[in-house]
Amino acid sequence: MTNELKILNTIFDFVCQEANLKPHQIRSRVRKRPIVMARFNFYYLCRAYNPILTLTGIGAFLMYDHATVINGINRIESLMSVDRKFKEQMGYLCAKYLSEVHPSILQKISVKTYYNEIQSYKLETNRVTEQANKMYYESMMMLNKVLDNINQDNNMEGYRKARVNNQTASFKNKMKLLKMGLPV
């Protein structure tokens, strides 16, 4: 028995047990909803967690065409996108499959998830750091503009004071000249 056949048999036995159906019922051409959904679940689990399995191989195992496998997988995915309860049921089924049949995959997935979380945290930290640096740079530029304006105002104020002092001095000089009786 090849490795692919072992995988297919393992998944098939799991789906039969979960759907409470006999193997000949799932392999049959019957189109009753529970049987069809069990068949689609089989397709979905085979494709989702065993990338070495081909669509043709999955279909041939149940004596169906690869197009039927694609249709079943698409049907499961579309139902999951629309129906929250169905999505939860599929999540439960996938989790149970992983925990009972392939705990090693579950460990790999949890390690990969942990790694992805760390990577996203690093990206978020880098993004926040970049934003903080940008905000710091912008605030420093604004502060420099404010200080330049203050310096300009102080320079203008100094100029005004000097001008007033000059005017005051010239007025005082004019007053002294007038007191002495000299022409201004």
pLDDT digits (tens, 9 = 90+) for 74-114: 999 999 889 888 888 888 888 888 778 766 655 555 555 65
**Domains of the chain, residue spans:** 3-101, 104-184
User: Residue 69 has what pLDDT?
Assistant: 93
Using alpha carbons, list the distances in angstroms from residue 26 to 20, 21, 55, 89.
10, 7, 17, 19
CATH number of 3-101: 1.10.1750.10
pLDDT digits (tens, 9 = 90+) for 22-80: 999 999 999 999 999 999 999 999 888 887 889 999 999 999 999 999 999 999 999 98
The three-class DSSP label of residue 53 is coil
pTM of the full predicted structure?
Answer: 0.57
